[in-house]
Structure 1
Amino acid sequence: MLVSGFAAIGAGSGAMLTLHAGSDLDPLHSVISEYVWQSAGWLLPASLTLFAAGAALMAEAMRRAGVNRWVVALLLVWGASMFLIGAFPTDRPGVPLSMSGGIHRYAAFVAFLVMPVAGMLLARANIRYAAAMRVLSGLALAALVMVVIPYVVRMFGIPLTNDDIPAGLTQRAVVVTELAVLTLAGLSMLKPSARRAVSPALA
């Protein structure tokens, strides 16, 4: 099950990299959601669906290993959010927020928030790679704050576009660190010793 999870995450990452390689958008300022409007835009929902499947498989493997049910639930929420992000595309630039765009935006926020929390809980359990997972979870939260700040600024009526800030860079920092957390979570379960390392508080 873990191997299948890794395969899904790897395939999703490959699809995402292929999408970026075939696009002329500026990754520093263009957010990932905008790539859905490119000629190979179908790779975006495909990639996100694979991420969702990988998270679900890893969550089930952890459930069977006796990992804290909150960690399992958070991974499932992350996977479900990834699926919603892909199923409900964002709006084209300059278009008012639609229902699809709203679902896309808030599902992304939920996904960006829950994975660092799951990583912190796993790190507290003193599993393998706990130190790295703690660092990556902290970086993901810090990057999430940087992603949210522009939205807060706009709420106060201050005009701020993605061209004015490295919106694409901060969003990609969140995605990369969270995929790294998920990957480390799966790697920590590959050996029996990792399962025994789960503390009673999280078992």
Structure 2
Amino acid sequence: MKGLLVGGFAAIGTGSGAMLTLHAGSDLDPLHSVISEYVWQSAGWLLPASLTLFAVGSALIAEALRRAGMSRWVVALLVAWGASMFLIGAFPTDRPGVPLSLSGGIHRYAAFAAFLMMPAAGMLLAKAKIRYAKAVRILSAIALGALVLVVIPYVVRMFGIPMTNDDIPAGLTQRAVVVTELGVLALAGLSMLKPSARRGVSPALAA
């Protein structure tokens, strides 16, 4: 199990490094530009590479949790989150100003699904009283709050009210979701590093 966790952390760390490298080499404004737009930069290939690494890391940590006897719901949510990350990278968003395409639609809804699933997994992990349960609960709550801010502009546009990412800190709120969810995933893995980590898990959530 330790090998799975180390592999998961390595994948998450490498993916984070690729994401930071992509941002450092771009001239986009991270306050207003969403992460998906970085795929059109010269080093845009780093975006799907980073998301794929996140997916691999999530799968490895999910398997470690499964072997430790964690709830099947938690394991399923982490695997689904990883699958969504892969889809987000495999199906890039549309260029600004272009009507929504099939690829753009898959990208958008996979991202929304992922943004919902990790906080749900985090709340279940916190309820199971894993190590770092309080931190996991706080990060999950922040992720959900930031997700609401991400969704609001889409709802506003549905009512015909024009709003662009330049009018709001769309990039900031989206990055808040991503960072906090990666934090939940990392803490889920860290909680399993010691053999004693499972002692306080609720039996109802460990089946």
TM-score surpassing 0.5? Answer: yes
**Structure 2 residue matching 1:201: 3-state secondary structure:** helix
**Structure 1 residue matching 2:73: 3-state secondary structure:** helix
Q: Which residue of 1 aligns with 2:96?
A: 93
Give the Cα separation in 2 of the matches to 1:81 and 1:194.
28
* Aligned Cα root-mean-square deviation (Å): 0.4
TM-score, length-normalised on structure 2?
0.98
Q: Which residue of 2 aligns with 1:20?
A: 23
Compute the displacement of 1:193 (Å). 1.0
Give the Cα separation in 2 of the matches to 1:165 and 1:193.
45
Give the Cα separation in 2 of the matches to 1:43 and 1:158.
34
Q: Which residue of 2 aligns with 1:11?
A: 14
Compute the displacement of 1:195 (Å). 1.8
Compute the displacement of 1:198 (Å). 1.5
2:190 to 183, 187, 190: 187
Q: Which runs of 5+ in 2 are unaligned?
A: none
1:130 to 118, 124, 133: 133
Give the Cα separation in 1 of the matches to 2:198 and 2:16.
27
Give the Cα separation in 1 of the matches to 2:79 and 2:60.
9
Compute the displacement of 1:189 (Å). 0.5
Compute the displacement of 1:197 (Å). 2.1
In the alignment, structure 1 residue 29 sits paired with structure 2 residue 59: no
Compute the displacement of 1:196 (Å). 2.1
TM-score, length-normalised on structure 1?
0.99
Compute the displacement of 1:10 (Å). 0.2
Compute the displacement of 1:7 (Å). 0.2
Structure 1 vs Structure 2: percent identity of aligned residues? 86
Q: Which residue of 1 aligns with 2:79?
A: 76
**Structure 1 residue matching 2:112: 3-state secondary structure:** helix
Give the Cα separation in 1 of the matches to 2:166 and 2:203.
49
Matches within 5 A, 1:111-122: 111-122=114-125
Q: Which residue of 2 aligns with 1:162?
A: 165
Give the Cα separation in 1 of the matches to 2:19 and 2:123.
26
In the alignment, structure 1 residue 53 sits paired with structure 2 residue 56: yes
**Equivalent AA in structure 1 for residue 23 of structure 2:** H
Q: Which residue of 2 aligns with 1:64?
A: 67
Give the Cα separation in 1 of the matches to 2:37 and 2:51.
14
Give the Cα separation in 2 of the matches to 1:84 and 1:8.
17
CA-to-partner distance for each residue in 1:49-108, whole Å, 9 max, x for gaps? Answer: 000000000000000000000000000000000000000000000000000000000000
Give the Cα separation in 2 of the matches to 1:197 and 1:50.
31
**Equivalent AA in structure 2 for residue 119 of structure 1:** G
Give the Cα separation in 2 of the matches to 1:197 and 1:42.
42
In the alignment, structure 1 residue 152 sits paired with structure 2 residue 145: no
Compute the displacement of 1:36 (Å). 0.1
Q: How many residues align?
A: 203
**Structure 1 residue matching 2:65: 3-state secondary structure:** helix
